[in-house]
Amino acid sequence: MQLELCVSFLTQHSKINHLSQMLTTLAVLLLVVLTAIDQQSILLVMGLFVVILLGMYETMLAIRVGFDEKILKQLSLKENVSEQDLESLDNALLSLGLITKRLHKLNDKPKDRDLNTRLLACMKLFKSQALALILQLLVLMVISLVTII
């Protein structure tokens, strides 16, 4: 049940990503318009760059959260997820370069990566994605308040 709940929650990542993409696009357009009309405040330009960078970071997180969602969705289709399934998943991720040997092994012993640990890591990534969006909004609000004053 915990696996299915996590998958259901992770499917919401696309909503965060869509809003972040809109904010990033807005920041790019504002930057272009301000540059075109030669109306530049260093604080405003820096703030817009921060919003764009946060948007790029959020997009990278959205890709990873979406990837995790698909993997967990496949695992949730199984009646029982075994340690062998998780080890096979780690081996596949390792061979594709999506996890490092350091993450996969600790002191030459397989690192304990049970299902619960994986679900918590996925939720942490999702929260990081949401935090990037919140930071984008905060930066936009601050630069809009500062430029009005």
- List, for residues 35-76, the tens digit of each pLDDT value: 788 766 888 889 999 999 999 999 999 999 999 999 999 988
Res 83: pLDDT: 86
Cα–Cα distance measured from residue 74 to residue 26, given in angstroms and rounded to the nearest whole number: 36
- 3-state SS class at 105: strand
Q: Where are the domains of the chain?
A: 2-148
pTM as predicted: 0.83
Average pLDDT over the chain, rounded to an integer: 87
Whose CA is closest to 60, among 141, 137, 132? 132
d(CA 81, CA 22): 38
Q: What is the pLDDT of residue 108?
A: 54
Q: What is the pLDDT of residue 39?
A: 67
pLDDT given at position 37: 80
User: What is the structure's pLDDT at 91?
Assistant: 86
Sequence-distant (≥ 6) Cβ neighbours of residue 57 within 8 angstroms: 132
Buried (b) or exposed (e) across 109-126, using 16+ Cβ within 10 A? eeeebebeebbeebeebb
pLDDT given for residue 98 in this prediction: 79
- What confidence score (pLDDT) does residue 104 get? 53
Token pair listed for 148: 């009005």
What per-residue confidence (pLDDT) applies to 84? 87
Can you list the residues of the chain whose pLDDT is less than 50?
Answer: none
